[in-house]
Structure 1
Amino acid sequence: MILPIVKYPEPVLQQPGEPVTEFDDELRKFVADMFETMYAAQGIGLAAPQVGVSKRITVIDLSNAKDPEKKMVLVNPEIIQRSGRLYEEEGCLSFPEIREKVVRAAKVRIRAQDEFGEWFEAEGEELLSRCMQHEIDHLDGTLFIFRISSLKRDLALRKIRKMQRAGEW
């Protein structure tokens, strides 16, 4: 089932997600719905707060459903190691039409649980690293526009307000 994606300034986007404690069929159904929603929106990552659920769950698939081996489910993730530096453009499904360059670590190591509650560690470099950091930020209530300069943020927020007035947001 495709879930509605919430847009900024929806309050759930700026709240830290609650840790997941129940690893049941309901969680796995929600994860499947998140993947379906992400693919329908042509995204590569989606966090539970983006569909209005304040839980520490995110899905990532850089292959956009082309390679099932690339699908990642991160439940209760945390970044345990960072190295290097990237300055690349990012977008966000909760900020359609807003893209800005953001500084991120070039490589990260994360620790998370899968949809069955099993702990694992994974590494990401370049785009995967950026995606992991972006989605974990969502789970912490941090949005990518708060990682850009105040001038660019003000311009982006002005654009959003203009689209809101026009009924396009």
Structure 2
Amino acid sequence: MAILKIVEYPAAVLEQQCEPVTVFDKRLIRLLNNMYDTMLEADGVGLAAPQIGMAKQIAIVETDEQSGKIELINPEIISSEGEQVGPEGCLSFPGLFGEVSRANRIKVKAQNRKGKWYELEAKGFLARAILHEIDHLNGVLFTSKVIRYYEDQELEG
């Protein structure tokens, strides 16, 4: 597979509303596979299409082996509840980390690589990662939600 170039802020595509995916073909499958490999290579837990320069509603998340790889195409948040506050970073903002408040439990509806709709419930860190990536698809950057930024020594401790 190919490792794709990750777009960094202030690239305009990062703040665009993404277009829905309407064609589910071999090109989409290849793109999903390349996005996954790119995310792993960059040591990330999520990657959205705008981060590789494409304004399409496509994101991948993998926080651990238990949840596995989650492909989110045209995702919609059905419900959210609770609150969690924790550290976030972003592959499009290398070296920048901040504390962000997000819902603790979510239910999401999305399509898989074949276009079939499914629903997914997530909580904790997985919910945080999914919400971060869905924000990307709506042109929302985590920096707009940061409560406070971390200094380097805070992250090392």
Task: With the length of structure 1 as denominator, give the TM-score of the two structures.
Answer: 0.85
Give deviations 1:76-104, integer Å, cap 9, x for gaps. 00111000000100000000100000010
What does 1:105-124 correspond to in 2, within 5 Å?
105-124=103-122
Matching residue of 2:131: 133
- Distance in 2 between residues matched to 1:69 and 1:129, nearest whole Å: 11
Matching residue of 1:28: 29
| 1:88 aligns with one of 86, 89, 112 | 86
Equivalenced residue count is 150
Matching residue of 2:154: none
What does 1:1-169 correspond to in 2, within 5 Å?
1-63=2-64, 67=65, 70-149=68-147, 152=148
- Distance in 2 between residues matched to 1:148 and 1:93, nearest whole Å: 16
1:68 positional shift: 8.5
- Distance in 2 between residues matched to 1:25 and 1:113, nearest whole Å: 15
- Distance in 1 between residues matched to 2:12 and 2:42, nearest whole Å: 21
Segments of structure 2 that go 5 or more residues without pairing to the other structure are: 152-157
| Greater helix content | 1
User: What is the identity, as a one-letter code, of the residue corresponding to 2:43?
Assistant: Q
- Distance in 1 between residues matched to 2:23 and 2:35, nearest whole Å: 17
| Greater strand content | 2
Moved over 2 A (4+): none
- Distance in 2 between residues matched to 1:110 and 1:2, nearest whole Å: 28
Residues 17 and 44 of structure 1, relative CA distance in 2, 3 Å threshold: same
1:110 positional shift: 0.2
How much identity, in percent, do the aligned residues show? 43
- Distance in 2 between residues matched to 1:86 and 1:68, nearest whole Å: 21
Task: With the length of structure 2 as denominator, give the TM-score of the two structures.
Answer: 0.91
- Distance in 2 between residues matched to 1:94 and 1:107, nearest whole Å: 25
